[in-house]
Structure 1
């Protein structure tokens, strides 16, 4: 292991320790802490320095408006609608991940721009987890619906990739980690 790799051990440890938190408490990082973590997450690899992403924080009533938009997108009524309406209320903070893509860019295809936005989201989830917050990346069948886009104020060329649900880690939450990844299953070598 080279000197630089030895110094990178905290990043490896944070990656190995990361775990999705499906249930969180009603506390969340304030805007200052969130901005600090976003500044670090924004260092993700960015071909042509396009910065093809942005994040939208949803707190309080904004989460309820998202629930209403999800119900509209699903066309539901009754108990099923109420269940769906309540999903954004599972965490005190939702961070919407928005890809801001440029069609026809000469060097960076749209899929790569989406990958950059997803990279920011993943790095932010890792940083939030390392800072002691519970985080779960959620999507769903209505993530690209017009009503859902309207709640987030999406502009032309922007589309939603999902939300990071963020909150406190319950005292009784298990922090057991998933089984180790068998890297040999995912790595091949071309000679």
Structure 2
């Protein structure tokens, strides 16, 4: 896991091949093991392939007030829409349910990368727009977190440099054991 995290890089360029639904189901099953308070499973994943990407492009254009469909969904043969499904709970607030869904998206991106696929998590200003929600058939309790763009690694994949590591001293601190 440590090596997978250290090696992970977003890939903005992917090839035309993508994992099939059977391989994807296995990876989603593994990603489902993220921390999930009260086991609410407040998430789902929607496969967006083929002409469904055109429908998404039209929804993005509608949300932006454009006449021409967005070509962004066509940049990858497979988009995985990650959706938070907010569940009624007295113990688990909405932000925690969104965190679980985001954890699934990140775990899934690591698993896809480990399986040899290129992955890029995309969002944007219209991620939670009405036309985009409608094309994904989202319910009242559901919010789109974004899409994982998935495909075979492009030519630049082999030459990509590792992501610059964080200086832990900049982000890691300790709460004093005694009050100041």
- Report TM bin, short chain: over 0.9
1:57 maps to 2:52? no
1:154 maps to 2:138? yes
Q: Take 1:182 and 1:131, find their aligned partners in 2: how far apart are those partners?
A: 28
Deviation at 1:172, TM superposition (A): 3.9
Pick from 87, 91, 96 the counterpart of residue 112 of structure 1: 96
1:43 maps to 2:33? yes
Deviations 1:37-83 (A, max 9, x none): 10110000000100000000000000000000000011013xxx45x
**Pairwise CA RMSD of aligned residues?**
1.0
**Contact map agreement 2:31 2:111 (CA 8 A) in 1:** yes
Q: Take 1:102 and 1:35, find their aligned partners in 2: how far apart are those partners?
A: 23
Aligned residues: 175
Q: Which residue of 1 aligns with 2:20?
A: 30
Q: Take 2:95 and 2:168, find their aligned partners in 1: how far apart are those partners?
A: 25
Deviation at 1:134, TM superposition (A): 0.5
Instruction: Name the structure with the higher helix share.
Output: 1
Q: Which residue of 2 aligns with 1:102?
A: 87
Pick from 150, 153, 166 the counterpart of residue 166 of structure 1: 150
Deviations 1:133-161 (A, max 9, x none): 00000000111111111111111201100
Question: Which residues of structure 2 form unaligned runs of 5+?
Answer: none
Q: Take 1:40 and 1:15, find their aligned partners in 2: how far apart are those partners?
A: 16
* TM-score, normalised via structure 1 length: 0.89
